[in-house]
Structure 1
Amino acid sequence: MPIFSNASHYEKLKTGLAQRDGHKHVIAFKLSGFNFFFDKDTNQVIEEVMSGMQYDGYEILDINVASLNYYKCLMTITYQ
């Protein structure tokens, strides 16, 4: 996944997370470069991001993955 090159998926995304303040927040990011909507690589990215957030104490409230086209999707995570 080119958007996350040279660092872990979660570490790149982590800088965009809001402080844990009890309020609901949303982070969105694009995943690209895969051949099938839910392939192994995509699931690995999603799992790493979710696990990292939970490990850092964030509560994941909702997840949405929307297809933008055949090679890209937009993932949004609502968290607290």
Structure 2
Amino acid sequence: MTIFSNASHYEKVKPGLVQRDGHKHLIAFKLSGFTFFFDKDTNQVIEEVMSGLQYDGYEILDTDITYQNAYKCIMTITYQ
């Protein structure tokens, strides 16, 4: 996963989060480097980001993956 170099996956997206204010918000990030539907590394990235959100007190309302091609997708998480 080239977009997440040395820092943890959640720490990379955390600066893009809106502070908890009771409103719904969305964060989107690109995932790449997987070769089939379920990939252990991709799952680890998604799990770490979602766990970090919950640990920091955010409520996850919805998730979505939009595939760009066989090797890249965009993960969106709606949170509050």
Report the TM range for the smaller structure's normalisation. over 0.9
1:40-55 alignment runs, 5 A limit:
40-55=40-55
Moved beyond 4 Å, runs of 4+? none
**Cα distance in 2 for residues equivalent to 1:36 and 1:6:** 25
1:78 is aligned to: 78
Gaps of 5+ in 2: none
Give SS of 1:75's match: strand
TM-score (structure 2 length as normaliser):
0.97
Give SS of 2:37's match: coil
Gaps of 5+ in 1: none
> What are the Cα deviations for residues 4-57 of structure 1, in whole angstroms up to 9, with x where unaligned?
111100000000000100000000010001111321111110000000000000
- Aligned-residue CA RMSD (Å): 0.7
TM-score (structure 1 length as normaliser):
0.97
State the aligned residue count. Answer: 80
Percent of aligned pairs with the same amino acid: 81
